[in-house]
Structure 1
Amino acid sequence: MPSQRSISEAEKLAEAKLGGIPVRREQMAAVANIYRAASAVRQHLENSVLRSADLTWTAFVVLWVVWVWGESETRHVAEESGVSKGTLTGVVRTLESRGLLRRTGHPTDGRLVLLALTPQGEEFMRRVFPAFNEEEAFVTGRLSDQECRDLADGLRRVVLQVEEEGEDRRTALLNGEKPTPRRSGRRAKG
């Protein structure tokens, strides 16, 4: 479903709101459009191929990570999937109940849990991923193959910047202090 507001309209409104505030507009537009693109693509994929496969985005990403990396510790799957270990637990329960994923104890460290696709999960990914990839081709349909390669390279460099230098930047911005734990957004009752 198309947005009620266009990207062009949002950019014009932001420019008007910022007026003379000194900001780096090109970088602002790049990050805003990374977010917009990610949201639009995720929504499209969730409402098309993932809906017909009865999967959430997160469940698909978890399956993808385990499919690509093979049997993995839950902490690595959570990190690669970009979710908390608590969120992963619920997703794993659902995928286990559908027979797509199995959870086993680590052979040498009883505190660790390993995840692997079942044969049914392997077959599921071999069947669903081509349909997912067709939608990847659809959402990038206005880009040439070279533009897709250039975009992928540019986004890789954004990720590397954050992975390699983000921790130092956060430490500097926080004057060396540890970040406060995230909250649910609710204010403490006073």
Structure 2
Amino acid sequence: MTEDQSAASQDRIAQDQLHFWSFIDHAVAAAAREIPGLNPLSMRLVLTLHRAANMLVYDLESSVHRPRGLSWGGFRVLFVIWLAGPTEARKAAELSGMSRAAVSALVNTLERDGLVTKERAAYDGRAVVLGLSDQGREVIKDAFTAHNTRESEWAQALSEDDQETLIALLEKLTTHSAHFDARHRT
């Protein structure tokens, strides 16, 4: 066996041993070897945050929202309209962190399903104001009740003090983003 074949064999073995969380350690070490001068701590922070958020969203969508006939995006739009009240479509996009195009497509489905209403704004005939139908209000209240129960299950891993600390740290991280012109949906 040549040296290249041996290395390839070891890479396959290593890949077989990787999983969703261990890949972070592997990625940080491999990237640091490939590109000297990287900041491995910030890489680990962002990879961990991203994977944790994706894992949480996937769990909420698959265990709470899909069984109720909602997508994650559909839930987010209903949630915004429910708590903000009748809302312009562009504002619903901003508050949900989605593009206007995504919200427009979701609203068409939610309207077809009888959950959302659309009306032209009296002050601007081009603006569309989104509201909840009675059925939409019941659907979002049911979905959010189950959603919050699942949130609570996730949060039980941390004490209340830990939860408050994590919230403060995430707020600090997002507030700091204004200092380097971070991009986000508006």
Which residue is equivalent to 2:70?
55
Report the alpha carbon displacement of residue 166 of structure 1 after superposing the two structures with TM: 4.2
Aligned residue for 2:141, secondary structure, equals helix
Aligned residue for 1:23, secondary structure, equals coil
Report the alpha carbon displacement of residue 112 of structure 1 after superposing the two structures with TM: 0.7
TM-score by length of 2: 0.80
What one-letter code is carried by the residue in structure 2 that aligns with 1:14? V
* 1:4-47 deviation line (CA, Å, top 9, x unaligned): 60423431442144137222222222111111011101111111
- Partner of residue 29 from structure 2, selected from 12, 15, 33: 15
* 1:125-149 deviation line (CA, Å, top 9, x unaligned): 2222110011112223321122112
Report the alpha carbon displacement of residue 160 of structure 1 after superposing the two structures with TM: 1.9
Q: 2:176 aligned with 1:161, yes or no? A: yes
| Cα separation, partners in 2 of 1:101 and 1:153, compared to 1, 3 Å | same
Return the structure number with greater helix share.
2
Aligned residue for 2:130, secondary structure, equals strand
Counterpart-to-counterpart distance in 2, 1:42 and 1:31: 16
Q: In angstroms, what is the RMSD of aligned CA positions? A: 1.9
| Cα separation, partners in 2 of 1:120 and 1:29, compared to 1, 3 Å | same
What one-letter code is carried by the residue in structure 2 that aligns with 1:10? I
| Cα separation, partners in 2 of 1:33 and 1:18, compared to 1, 3 Å | same
Counterpart-to-counterpart distance in 1, 2:36 and 2:101: 41
Which structure 1 segments of 5+ residues have no match?
171-190
Q: Which has the bigger relative contact order, CA under 8 A and spacing at least 6?
A: 2
Which residue is equivalent to 1:101?
116
Aligned residue for 1:110, secondary structure, equals strand
Which residue is equivalent to 1:29?
44
Q: 2:94 aligned with 1:84, yes or no? A: no
Report the alpha carbon displacement of residue 96 of structure 1 after superposing the two structures with TM: 0.8
Q: How many residues align?
A: 165
Which residue is equivalent to 1:134?
149
Runs of 4+ in structure 1 displaced over 4 angstroms? Answer: none
TM-score by length of 1: 0.79
Native 8 Å contact 2:24 2:47 kept in 1: no
More divergent stretch after superposition (33-42 vs 121-130): 121-130
| Cα separation, partners in 2 of 1:9 and 1:88, compared to 1, 3 Å | closer
Which structure 2 segments of 5+ residues have no match?
1-17
Counterpart-to-counterpart distance in 2, 1:48 and 1:141: 17
What one-letter code is carried by the residue in structure 2 that aligns with 1:140? A
Aligned residue for 1:143, secondary structure, equals coil
- Partner of residue 135 from structure 2, selected from 101, 120, 123: 120
